[in-house]
Amino acid sequence: MFRQKPIGKRHIKVCRTLSCALMGGYKTCAEFEAQFKTKRGETSEDGAVTIEFVECLASCGTAPVVLIDDTLHENVDCAKARALSDQIKAELKKS
């Protein structure tokens, strides 16, 4: 649980436990990786986003779930992952 290097300004955590995995959590994570051109467990080159798999986020009935910073997003399929990515990109441009 200790970090040995800094994370990005935005932290995307995709649940990978059974319910989320069965409902497409791995595809959702792959979509975030494609959108930010980075791999899970890594931070984007510009230091803006870190993507990682996490264990249960305790919302199995609304799988797949993603925690972005401190906000839980439910039923995150690839289309919703793209929309969330666009929102994050827009917010990062403003800051």
Q: Going from the N-terminus, what domains does the chain have, and what CATH number goes with each?
A: 10-94 (3.40.30.10)
Q: Answer whether 0.85 is exceeded by the pTM.
A: yes
The 3-state DSSP class for residue 88 equals helix
Per-residue confidence (pLDDT) for residue 2, from 0 to 100 = 80
> What separation in angstroms does the CA of 53 have from each of 12, 61, 65?
9, 18, 11
Residue predicted with more confidence, 83 or 1: 83
- Burial of residue 32 (CB within 10 Å: 0-12, 13-18, 19+) is buried
User: Sheet harboring 66-68: ordered strands across?
Assistant: 42-43, 49-54, 10-15, 66-68, 71-73
pLDDT tens readout for residues 37-70: 999 999 999 999 999 999 999 999 999 999 999 9
pLDDT for res 5: 85
State the Cα–Cα distance between residues 79 and 27, nearest whole angstrom. 11
The pLDDT of residue 4: 85
